[in-house]
Amino acid sequence: MTSRVVILGGGVAGLAAAMRLGQLRPGTSITIVEREAVAGGLARAWAVNEFTADLGPHRVYTELPEIERLLPDLIARDQMVTVTRRSQLLLGGHFFDYPVRAGELLGQLGPVNMAGFALSALAGKARAAIRTPHNFEEAMSDAFGARAYGLLVGPYARKVWKTEPRHLSVEVARVRVSAGGAAQMIRRLVGRAHAEKRRPTALREFAYIRGGVSRLVESLLGRACQAGARLITGASVEAIEGTATGVSAIVIRDASGRAERLPADSVISTIPVTDLAAALEPLALDPTAQAAARSLTYLGMMLVALVVRRPQVTPNTWLYFPEEHLVFNRAYEPRNFDPGMAPSDRTMAVFEVTARWDSDLWSSPDSDIASRVTTDACSTGLLREAEIEAAHVLRLRHAYPLYTTDFRAHLDAVCRGLEQFANLISTGRQGLFNHNNMDHSMLMGIRAAECLVNAAQGNESAAARWRANLGQFAHFRIVD
């Protein structure tokens, strides 16, 4: 087994990989390199004065038996709280309770419209019987009918992904527009709610960690450090050294400009696969893989936190905003997950805004984004401008992999190219261009560590073994 392993990225995938590697091979030199000031990746905490928020509304839930067995060892029972999910969706000036009640829909849409949705859904079902969808638009129109697609699914997809739905892969339908929110509402519109009884896509109640999901990160980091891992934060990858068949060292540079060379017998990378491919170009990464990596795109997200002079804005855990005239897609109130994340007399509501990196929206100053979110939030009736005490903006550059119709071919080409580096594994949400949940990322990190160990025992290429087994993650699905 290799004696020096460098892990790029200190999110939950990287930390889980370090923990598992230390368990399997005690004494291994493990170094974790994290670009941010703290570990956690998208699971780190966002501290805003007296308030704390997750980077998105996390929860603790898994359908993976291995992670289900692991969680009690990472999170003590007294750290857990049970949260009843309460969600609403704003459509046509009305906040629908979610899951949507048939009587509420009938009252807002009327019997004629309801009948139209049902007929449209039957037509979609007939189309689905004679054609295979080639993109998200076709898949969702067939699944729910053109009327329902035009009302909600199409506009929301266009708003969230900043892409015309006909250019989105059918895999977005599997990931879902809003992780079940839109899909379940449309099923109720067309009378197909019974289909959701098989496997839930949205939970009625869920477990949460007191103080936020960063507590799980702290536990994972503690386990990794107990296993001998060393964490370096605030450092980015400057270069990767080696040959066209393997990596020998990682050169990093911290915020002060100091460089450090980390010799590596093996590397587990959880950084964006596009960044990894760019860093490998000097080592003669296959030109086809280079071009494919440049064709993969991530979406950025801006979180806008509005501090409000009132104890609570709504009792909801999630709020959805599918209509395109509002700049934000979704909102959440951290105190509704854990009251301790806000002082008793005030609250903080966090609004999510997705954007392409080359858009005017992403290029706008934070002050303009905050102003627009404030204006739009007040226009919904949720808030009054006079009660908003402050606005804070946090940008996440690699928030979501963008699943265009050609992404799978590009991703496969990148993975084939990476296989030439026998001692390198790319894993996790960013490293496998995989829109997934926190538990999935943990398992991907664990499997990467196991792959390194098993490959060494069999005297085979870890990269080849890893690529041959990537299908093990194909069953992942988002559950909100």
Pick from 341, 338, 71: which is nearest to 219 by CA?
71
Bridge partners of 424, per DSSP, are 267
Measured distance CA(250)–CA(173) in Å, rounded: 38
Measured distance CA(331)–CA(302) in Å, rounded: 12
Q: Distance of CA 416 to CAs 191, 309, 401, Å?
A: 44, 54, 19
Q: Where are the alpha helices (DSSP H) in 11-53?
A: 12-24
pLDDT by residue, tens only, the chain of 480 residues: 458 999 999 999 999 999 999 999 999 999 999 999 999 999 999 999 999 999 988 888 888 899 999 999 999 989 999 998 899 999 889 998 876 665 666 666 677 776 777 777 777 777 877 888 999 998 888 887 888 888 888 898 999 999 999 999 998 876 654 434 444 545 555 444 444 444 555 567 889 999 999 999 999 999 999 989 999 999 999 999 999 999 999 999 998 999 999 999 999 999 999 999 999 999 999 999 999 999 999 999 999 999 999 999 999 999 999 999 999 999 999 999 999 999 999 999 999 999 999 999 999 999 999 999 999 999 999 999 999 999 999 999 999 999 999 999 999 999 999 999 999 999 999 999 998 889 999 999 999 999 999 999 999 999 999 999 999 988 777 766
Measured distance CA(25)–CA(9) in Å, rounded: 20
Q: Distance of CA 95 to CAs 116, 176, 183, 325, 340, Å?
A: 22, 21, 17, 16, 27
Helices vs strands, H then E, count in the chain = 17, 19
- Give residue 92's pLDDT: 87
Measured distance CA(477)–CA(201) in Å, rounded: 9
Measured distance CA(202)–CA(474) in Å, rounded: 20
What does the block give as tokens for 145? 């009918």
Measured distance CA(304)–CA(314) in Å, rounded: 17
- Give residue 195's pLDDT: 44
What does the block give as tokens for 301? 């997200």
Angle 297-327-378 from CA coordinates, rounded to 5°: 155
Decide the pairing of beta strands 347-355 and 330-332: antiparallel
- Give residue 175's pLDDT: 62
Cα 343 to the center of its chain, rounded Å: 28
Measured distance CA(419)–CA(247) in Å, rounded: 12
Backbone angles phi, psi at 292, to 5 degrees: -65, -40
| DSSP state letter for 390 | E
Q: What is the widest separation between alpha-carbon atoms in the chain?
A: 70
In this structure, the chain runs to a length of 480
- Give residue 173's pLDDT: 77
Token look-up 């080409």 returns 413
Pick from 89, 256, 84: which is nearest to 180 by CA?
89
246-254 sheet: strands from edge to edge: 235-243, 246-254, 259-263
- Give residue 196's pLDDT: 43
The topology under which CATH files domain 4-41+63-72+212-296+406-473 is FAD/NAD(P)-binding domain (3.50.50)
Pick from 427, 467, 333, 453: which is nearest to 41 by CA?
427
Q: Angle, to 10 degrees, between the axis of helix 12-24 and the axis of helix 214-226?
A: 30
**Residue 72: other Cβ atoms inside 10 A:** 10
pTM beyond 0.75, yes or no: yes
- Give residue 131's pLDDT: 84
CB 174 within 8 A of CB 102: no
Question: Which part of the chain has CATH 3.50.50.60?
Answer: 4-41+63-72+212-296+406-473
